[in-house]
Amino acid sequence: MLGTFQQSNLRIEIAASEQKISDSLLCPSQFQQWLFPQTFSTGMPDRLCAGASFTSWLGPVSIQHQVETASPNGLQILMSKGVDGYQEWHWGEGWVQSRLAGVSALQLNLGQTITLLRLKVFLTRS
């Protein structure tokens, strides 16, 4: 894998319930809305669970995702191809936290920051 090792931990407050945050992170029909223009493979389950796998694309870069754990307040995903690493999400009433580590040519910290801000805007408008 070409790129550099990067890691980032971010936590933000969001005026949303734990359930709304959970649905936004675990339901593909919802996260596909706020992660646009990132696109996703077809045939994803209604709700992510351990063992689920899917591919996403950010322009020409594909990222393979393998869900390791999915719970009412946490998600851990292993990634390969465009990013070799993992991302963990944890959330509760009014907050969400993301930890990301991996090797990639992409700017992971910038992408993670934009992702959290897009999630916040999505939940604020819902």
Chain segment 86-97, per-residue pLDDT in tens: 999 999 999 999
Distance CA 55, CA 35 (A): 13
CATH topology of domain 4-125: Alpha-D-Glucose-1,6-Bisphosphate; Chain A, domain 4 (3.30.530)
Chain segment 10-21, per-residue pLDDT in tens: 999 999 999 999
| CA distances to 53, 55, 62, 107, 126 from 121, in Å | 26, 24, 25, 21, 9
**Is residue 1 predicted with pLDDT exceeding 80?**
no
Is residue 52 within 8 A of residue 45, CB to CB? The reply is: yes
What's the whole-model pTM score?
A: 0.92
Hey, what are 110's tokens?
């910038």
Is residue 48 within 8 A of residue 68, CB to CB? The reply is: no
Chain segment 35-82, per-residue pLDDT in tens: 988 999 999 999 999 999 999 999 899 999 999 999 999 999 999 999
| Domain locations along the chain | 4-125
